Structure 1
Amino acid sequence: MTTGSTPTDEPSTPEGFPARTTKALLDEVAGGPGRGRRFFAWLCGIHDCGKATPAFQQMDETGARAVRQAGLTWMSTGQQRWRHDRAGGRLIQDVLRRVGWHDDQISWIWPLVAGHHGRFPSSGELIEPVRARGHLHGKGPAWRRIQSAIVDIFTHQLGFDSLQDVQPVQVPSRADQLHLSGLVVMADWIASDERYFPGLDDLRDVSLEASRTRAAGAWEKLGLRGGWGRLGVPGVKAFDDRFGHGPRPSQVMVMDAARQMAGPGLVIVEAPMGEGKTKAALMAAEILAARFRADGVFVGMPTQATSDPIFSQVRTWAGKVSPGLESQVALLHGKRRFNQEWQELLAEGGENPDDLYGTVDEDALYGMSSFDADETPERRAPAEWFLGSKRGLLTPLVVGTIDQLLFAATRTKHVMLRMAGLAGKVVILDEVHAADVYMSQFLLEGLRWLGQARVPVVLLSATLPPAQRRALIDAYLAGASSREDPPPLDLPAPGGYPNVTAIWLGNAGPRTLVDHCSSWREDLNVRVEVLPESPKTTSQPRTGTHADVVELLADRLKDGGCALVIRNTVDRAQDTYRALRAHFGNDVSLLHGRLHAAHRADRTEIALAQLGPSTAPRPRTILVATQLAEQSFDVDADILITDLAPIDLLLQRIGRLHRHDGVPRPARVREPCVIVTGFGLPHKSAPWILPASEAIYGRYLLLRTAAFVYEADKQYWKIPSQVPALVAAVYGEQSVVPEAWAEAEQAAFAEWDEKQRARAKSAEKFLLTRFKEHENKTLEGLHYAETKGTEEIVHAIVRDGEPSVEVVIVHEADGGYTSWTGRRLGINGEVPVPLVDEVLGGTVRLPTKLTKAAESDLQPLEGWRQHPWLRYSLALKLDAQGQVSLNGFIVRYDEDLGLVIDESR
């Protein structure tokens, strides 16, 4: 495989779907250049061979009569059923064995046939029910002859000399098998769509030539296209062309690392907040794609909110890589409807967004979406086919949440579509330090499969604990070497910060490249202060600690300035907002996850504008937020007040301080300062820590972080140069707390370690591969215990949380309903087209403690039953007082506070 390492700024050459890596894989498996295309056509064509059985033929009375008249018979099996996908797995096994295929080739082919409806069965599941006595599969030599003939005739029609001539020369890796399986399913779904392939009633109309003509016409209507196609390896000048300015030293370092890699591998970039990691990653992706024949990118962000701004950035970059490609970038998360840029892109493509995303049962209709296919090939949006259920990752250029990758590591139906969507791309994952021990199990499993599929991966983080960095590397290398355990690797530690670590698997084993450079900005000397709390003050939410925050900000913002207050829970943020609002009035705003979609989008936009970079003095502004302000939130605060959090997350929050140069700052906040609260002063023992914070993060890491905060009280941290050392110390194995805390630290560690092990263990049952089965050669039995449920349930699984539900707020009024804004709906809740966005803007997520009650007590309004967007939406019907009782709680929506949950009295 050529690396194409000569720097060039040649434009890209668009190609068709799929990526060149996939085409090369098929050629390698099939035995040489040009053979892969025909072999893939054969794979797709034989996937439904199981329909040549009585089990399927008897489903239609007219067809069954014709088959019997042709001399094929079977006995009635009553209620016995046998799926045609499993029947096909057995049939193709039998046929291929009879013509002398090698067992190792048969063993990976049959699961692709038996699993084309989304689940890979075990070989034992290919045995028809006992009481059917062979009459479901076809009993006797006549059935065997006709089944062999169907496969044989089809094989000759494709141009093969014989069925033996089809036999591959290589057994692809399991990741490649999963990739090919996904493409077979994709082809099946397309061919099953009668809008593109209307049925033929006359067998005389069936021929290979006619099929090719039909396929060409369908392909033109579908408008499916690849990504950028053939790329030249971009030189340093390309950075300026893409982003309008030259690269910083850390960005040059990352690009150089991508150029020096001798094979596809893993690149880990650790750099300070605001260093420009995303731009460096996009350029690295461009280089890796050019060198290793990838045809697109997936950018995974930690949250939906952080995905939206990156979507804009990726679109701009893609248009510079290949003009027009910016319109082919897909946004993939549950709230994309509320992204204005995405909506405008769809409107340019001619779609009615109301019709795009209906939930469809793939077993019934193969996931077909419901809108008009009368399209021209040159669309101004990703092809409509990509926008249907479970297909988003197949779009060549995708921005979404990291959950899309985590889902690909779960044992769920149609997981092969996710792998097919990731293969052939460069994968970029941002903020990977945010993955806790539970989420990390899915991240590590995903990296195993990506490593085995030779997918280049770029991971971004402000900094990583050494153990986490090594775990990520080991997972990728284990996958790349198709081993349970990674090959031995002497990995040097990064010598500075920012830094880059690149690893790949060479002919002689793992290869590494580790480099570092200076940050483009000088260190910020951030003053650290402690604002202590105690159980007594915390129990007085209207006064207590919030009064201390009011007093402190009244002093620091006397001459103006912008403050950011980050609380660890929504309830605490709401209480703080109340206290600050009473003193500062309209200068205070609130942002958290229990705002409905419209309010959250508006307030996020306002916050980014108010606290953004400016060369003119900014008006006094106080933003109270939850962890939403922790990741990829580009605000610049003059002063930060934050609840105690583990050191890496605390440093992320500090990254919002004095983020931009040239911003005028009042004298009292000219020095960057973080005030840490949510814990008490130590006396002769370890400090009290806010119970809600311990419930989220655990006492162990908070206690160790508190030790460093106390040590720095009224002193300074140098940011970013001290970041790696602080993170390594808190996450290290040596004790870092005062001697008086030692016993408390040991107890906290024992509890934390037990929970970490338990949480890691609890993830195992959902992972795509069982422990000690990573060296298996085929996909047989992959779905031995399928993870079932809606995407909401799977989301809860990969995030280690109880499933939560979203509801749509409506108000009961005069025997009917209004939207959250007070606009009148139909008597049964019918929504006029102009009000659809407004109604959906009232979508809010309930806390998990209300999930069961919501699922049992709430339902869609009657007038929503036929609406493509609202038919599955639960209505939260607020009464004349603006509230509703749910599971012993009073739930209400406050225009300032958002969703408020009060206990019933």
Structure 2
Amino acid sequence: MILLAKSTGETLLEHTRRVLQLALALCERLPLAPEEQFPLVREAALAAAGHDLGKAASGFQKWLRREELDWKGRRHEILSAAFVSGLPTATEEAVFAVLTHHRQIPSDGLRPVSRSLLLDDAGLPPGWLTMCAELHENAEAFNQLWDEICHEMDRLDLASERLPSKLELRLDPAWLDGSRLSGQLAHIPFERRRHASMLRAILMGADHLGSGHVSLPSEVDWSAYRMSVPPRPFQSRTGALDGHVILKAPTGSGKTEAVLLWAKRNVRQHSKLFYVLPYTAAINAMHGRLAATLPSGKESVGVLHAHAAHHLYERLRNDYRSDPLAVERESRVRAQLAREMYYPVRVCTPHQLLRYTLHGPGWEQMLCDIPNACIIYDEIHAYDPALAGLTLGSAELFSRLGARILFASATLPAFLQREIQSLFPLTAVTPDIRLDGDREVLVQKRHRVSIHRGTLLSAVDDILRCASEGQSLLLVCNHVRSAQDLYLQLCEGLSRDSVELLHGGFNAQDRRAKEFRLTAEPLPRVLVATQAVEVSLDLDFDRGYFESAPIDALAQRMGRVNRYARREPAKIVIASETISKYPLYDPKLTADTLNRLALLRSEIGEGELSSLCDAVYAAGYTPEQRHTFDERKRHPFFVEFEKRLLAGREEDWVRSVIEQFDGRADVLPRQLVPSHAALRREGRFLEADSLLVNVRVASMRQDIDTSNDPWIINAPYDSELGLGRTSSKIR
């Protein structure tokens, strides 16, 4: 009898062979010393060899062949673990990995645990005797399969082992007990729990990759990385440093190149690299940049955020011009691979690394990926106190696990730099005004700032005059509706093809089209945007008009005007009043920023912006913010990592600790429902999802119909104006 592993007809031998090969490949890419790697390889191989043997049970085989509707909820991995536990060289850690490679350890009775093993007091599942009897029905095929597997992994010493007449799960019950006082945490030493968690990560990763029929990509040859131009002195200094670094350098000065030189210096054999950015648009842009810049980057750089598949869909469309369904499949596969132990370089949000440190799904990968990793946190000043605390607490834990960390920013307040420097010894790097090359980026004056008393609506005449003179203008509002109001008024004085509107109220399909137009030459005469433009596109306008905001947000906006200082200092006009009556930023920080900017009488550069940032944020966090920051930074999973490492258990970290989506949701405008349904009928699900708009639920709750999937919003949508307005209002 040929035993199957999948309902597709894939045999159990084929699947096991593939998982075994991937488990060995994953082990070989771990940055471990030989004395630690060798026993891990043997245990991982044994776990991979036995992980699906329980599928040989006759009832499971009938289900795979569609002769039965189901297997009545029985778990094949328990049978697999029982057989492996009887092998003479099997460790409890390997048995545990097999037992839990699909499910978590049982609940401790105090809180529910999703997707956990259901076991009785004797550590056995319901229907155990029936499961064993069904496995023995295929004993001959089982033993033949095991013999072939042993030859595959070159373990002839185990080839003589046969399915015993009585199966027992030989595992210390403490492994399956999640209680703090009497279970695994109390009776299993930390090193064994860590080792079991690593084996579980390797087995789960190999099983997922093997089921997807993928092979590991090439590792990045960092020795081949070169800058396209001679480095500035601060870039060379950054690239010569070993260990942790804070890099503070102006926008447009080559900060990313300096970061990559540091990575080239600090990566070790099989090191992973994580490039962490706060916003999705910036992550997508960096993914494209690294994929094009790094040797073998196209296949070795992954992107990891909630909408990564949509980003990948756009990048892959040219590769499958005539087959949109193939693009769909490949995009989803690549997005999922970024969550596995697959890509050697990953660009991600901070939340994805918090999935590791707060023991979210798949957290065990941290134990394999983080040692000797290089982790780059870019623009950490953009985080709120809670996320900043969690991020710095995670960074400190990563450093204890052997990672090297670099913090990079153009506007890092001094108080936050002190917080970072309190974590572990770091070297701070900034451009040195005494050195040619560095002096250039420090002394250059890119902007002339003036304060406009009123809103941007009252500055429209000045905006129209500058636009008529041929200048490209960037206008940034704090709210979507304010940007729409300003855009509508400008369209009364300018042709619609010379004005572009960009904000978060567009669906992905329309936003991509707008961003494509913005990256093509020439720039529109006027771009009206919200703060989303601060961190996304690499743009360079002649003049800027901004609504008031704290200095760090204004500095990011100013970085999109005269970006490379190739022209005379550009005029920046900041409106003292906002169009919306609802403040987006802290009013005190905004007022202090305006007052200090009003005192400046000359052209300004990065030195002045940095000093202003330090002055505005001199007091640091408020007492309430400080409490939140400290509490998150000292999360028990960080400071008591060894005590709280519970193998085989995941935490509900998204809802319990982080408000990851800040009360936002993707909704479908009612008028797009027919288009959405048509795309789904054709199997083009990612294209259908690109019609959804991300909104803050609280502000539009009365317009959202949550009885549908996806949620439907009863608000007008226009591809030119976005959600809530129609272009018919433009005369």
Amino acid at match of 2:610: P
Aligned to 1:247: 231
CA displacement at 1:845 relative to structure 2: 1.8
Aligned to 1:313: 289
Amino acid at match of 2:315: E
Equivalent position to 2:376, from 408, 428, 450: 428
Aligned to 1:8: none
8 A Cα contact 2:669 2:717, kept in partner: no
Aligned to 2:445: 524
Question: Does residue 773 in structure 1 map to residue 640 in structure 2?
Answer: yes
Aligned to 2:205: 186
Partner of 2:449, secondary structure, is strand
**C-alpha spacing 1:172/1:707, structure 2 compared with 1 (3 Å):** farther
- Determine the C-alpha separation between the residues in 2 that align with 1:600 and 1:644: 25
- Deviation string 1:454-473 (CA, Å, 9 cap, x unpaired) is 23333321132233234345
- The equivalences for 1:465-480 within 5 A come to 465-475=413-423, 477=424
Equivalent position to 1:655, from 556, 559, 569: 559
CA displacement at 1:656 relative to structure 2: 1.8
- Deviation string 1:112-155 (CA, Å, 9 cap, x unpaired) is 4564336466888999866779786989xx99xx9xxx9x9999
CA displacement at 1:285 relative to structure 2: 1.8
Partner of 1:722, secondary structure, is helix
- Determine the C-alpha separation between the residues in 2 that align with 1:353 and 1:418: 30
**C-alpha spacing 1:392/1:610, structure 2 compared with 1 (3 Å):** farther
- The equivalences for 1:415-494 within 5 A come to 415-417=363-365, 420=368, 425-475=373-423, 477=424, 494=428
Amino acid at match of 1:547: L
CA displacement at 1:185 relative to structure 2: 0.8
Amino acid at match of 1:222: V
**C-alpha spacing 1:608/1:270, structure 2 compared with 1 (3 Å):** same
CA displacement at 1:621 relative to structure 2: 1.2
Equivalent position to 1:22, from 21, 30, 46: 30
Aligned to 1:718: 604
Partner of 2:352, secondary structure, is helix
8 A Cα contact 2:356 2:363, kept in partner: yes
- The equivalences for 1:231-242 within 5 A come to 232=223, 239=226
- The equivalences for 1:370-769 within 5 A come to 387-388=335-336, 391=339, 394-417=342-365, 420=368, 425-475=373-423, 477=424, 494=428, 497=431, 518-520=439-441, 522-524=443-445, 526-533=447-454, 545-557=455-467, 559-586=469-496, 587-609=498-520, 621-662=525-566, 671-679=569-577, 691-693=581-583, 696-712=584-600, 715-716=601-602, 718-733=604-619, 752-755=622-625, 757-758=627-628, 769=636
**C-alpha spacing 1:29/1:777, structure 2 compared with 1 (3 Å):** farther
RMSD: 5.0
Amino acid at match of 2:503: H
CA displacement at 1:182 relative to structure 2: 1.9
- Determine the C-alpha separation between the residues in 1 that align with 2:104 and 2:554: 43
8 A Cα contact 2:209 2:215, kept in partner: no
- Determine the C-alpha separation between the residues in 1 that align with 2:551 and 2:581: 18
- Determine the C-alpha separation between the residues in 1 that align with 2:484 and 2:389: 33
- Deviation string 1:766-800 (CA, Å, 9 cap, x unpaired) is x7x546422427434853x5236xxxx79x94546
- Determine the C-alpha separation between the residues in 1 that align with 2:476 and 2:522: 14
Aligned to 2:183: none
**C-alpha spacing 1:124/1:42, structure 2 compared with 1 (3 Å):** farther
CA displacement at 1:426 relative to structure 2: 3.2
Aligned to 1:844: 693
Amino acid at match of 1:439: L
Aligned to 2:101: 116
Question: Does residue 787 in structure 1 map to residue 675 in structure 2?
Answer: no
Partner of 2:612, secondary structure, is helix
8 A Cα contact 2:667 2:693, kept in partner: yes
Question: Does residue 228 in structure 1 map to residue 202 in structure 2?
Answer: no
- Determine the C-alpha separation between the residues in 2 that align with 1:82 and 1:731: 59
Aligned to 2:260: 282
Partner of 1:22, secondary structure, is coil
Amino acid at match of 1:773: E
- Determine the C-alpha separation between the residues in 2 that align with 1:249 and 1:434: 27
Amino acid at match of 1:326: K
The number of aligned residues is 644
8 A Cα contact 1:645 1:702, kept in partner: yes
CA displacement at 1:244 relative to structure 2: 2.8
8 A Cα contact 1:643 1:677, kept in partner: yes
**C-alpha spacing 1:24/1:573, structure 2 compared with 1 (3 Å):** same
- Deviation string 1:375-426 (CA, Å, 9 cap, x unpaired) is xxxxxxxxx5x55477356222333444433433444223334665666653
- Determine the C-alpha separation between the residues in 2 that align with 1:394 and 1:301: 20
Amino acid at match of 1:709: L
**C-alpha spacing 1:498/1:606, structure 2 compared with 1 (3 Å):** farther
Amino acid at match of 2:102: H
Amino acid at match of 2:582: A
Aligned to 2:318: 344
**C-alpha spacing 1:113/1:418, structure 2 compared with 1 (3 Å):** same
- Determine the C-alpha separation between the residues in 2 that align with 1:390 and 1:588: 38
- Deviation string 1:58-109 (CA, Å, 9 cap, x unpaired) is 976999xxxxxxxxxxxxxxx99997779999x799989xx999xxx96x77
Partner of 2:623, secondary structure, is helix
- Determine the C-alpha separation between the residues in 1 that align with 2:553 and 2:577: 16
Amino acid at match of 1:343: R
**C-alpha spacing 1:842/1:777, structure 2 compared with 1 (3 Å):** closer
- Deviation string 1:681-719 (CA, Å, 9 cap, x unpaired) is xxxxxxxx97523xx33234324323322333xx23531
- Determine the C-alpha separation between the residues in 2 that align with 1:495 and 1:133: 56
- Determine the C-alpha separation between the residues in 2 that align with 1:434 and 1:293: 32
- Determine the C-alpha separation between the residues in 1 that align with 2:316 and 2:642: 41
Partner of 2:665, secondary structure, is coil
8 A Cα contact 1:573 1:625, kept in partner: yes
**C-alpha spacing 1:550/1:459, structure 2 compared with 1 (3 Å):** same
TM-score when normalising by structure 1: 0.60
CA displacement at 1:46 relative to structure 2: 6.2
8 A Cα contact 2:52 2:80, kept in partner: yes
Question: Does residue 807 in structure 1 map to residue 718 in structure 2?
Answer: no
**C-alpha spacing 1:267/1:114, structure 2 compared with 1 (3 Å):** farther
8 A Cα contact 2:456 2:545, kept in partner: no
CA displacement at 1:627 relative to structure 2: 0.9
Aligned to 2:718: 894
- The equivalences for 1:82-121 within 5 A come to 112=97, 115-117=100-102, 119=104
TM-score when normalising by structure 2: 0.73
- Determine the C-alpha separation between the residues in 2 that align with 1:418 and 1:294: 14
Partner of 1:272, secondary structure, is coil
**C-alpha spacing 1:328/1:344, structure 2 compared with 1 (3 Å):** farther
8 A Cα contact 1:611 1:637, kept in partner: no
- Determine the C-alpha separation between the residues in 1 that align with 2:472 and 2:696: 30
CA displacement at 1:594 relative to structure 2: 0.8
Aligned to 2:178: none
Amino acid at match of 1:253: R
Amino acid at match of 2:269: R
- Determine the C-alpha separation between the residues in 2 that align with 1:573 and 1:732: 31
- Determine the C-alpha separation between the residues in 1 that align with 2:123 and 2:304: 48
**C-alpha spacing 1:172/1:648, structure 2 compared with 1 (3 Å):** farther
- Determine the C-alpha separation between the residues in 2 that align with 1:87 and 1:852: 49
State percent identity of aligned pairs: 20
Partner of 1:185, secondary structure, is helix
8 A Cα contact 1:249 1:520, kept in partner: no
**C-alpha spacing 1:138/1:20, structure 2 compared with 1 (3 Å):** closer
Mind listing any 5+ residue stretches in structure 2 that lack a counterpart? 1-23, 64-70, 111-115, 137-142, 162-169, 171-188, 727-731
- Determine the C-alpha separation between the residues in 1 that align with 2:320 and 2:202: 25
8 A Cα contact 1:428 1:458, kept in partner: yes
